[in-house]
Amino acid sequence: MQGHHGSFDTSEQADAVQLAAYRRLGGAGRVAIAFRLTALVRETAVAGILRRHPDYSSEQAAQAFRRLVLGDALMRKAFPQDDLVEP
């Protein structure tokens, strides 16, 4: 579709409606949505870790999540006191 700059899985009309809604929200509203989505992704990832490792404490699940986000090298630098917990 020439000139179509939105999502490839939605129509141009749906993209226009969504864009208008985001514009009405303003910057603060869009930031709030981004924070909520980030929290949902984090909660989903931690839930997956706990499904795979039901014996983990909440702190171990948090450590495993940090390892996923940071990677091993940065995790060791940022949290040298923590063991690398398997995500």
pLDDT digits (tens, 9 = 90+) for 21-45: 888 888 899 899 999 999 999 999 9
Q: Which of 53, 52, 50, 46 is nearest to 68 (CA)?
A: 46
pLDDT band with cut points at 50, 70 and 90 for residue 55: very high
pTM over 0.75? The answer is no
Instruction: Report pLDDT for 2.
Output: 43
Cα distance between residue 72 and residue 82, in whole Å: 11
Instruction: Report pLDDT for 67.
Output: 95
Cα 51-53-55 angle, rounded to 5 deg: 115
Q: What is the per-residue burial (b if ≥16 Cβ within 10 Å, else e) of 51-66?
A: eeeeebeeebbbbbbb
Please give the radius of gyration of the chain, using alpha carbons only, rounded to the nearest integer. 19
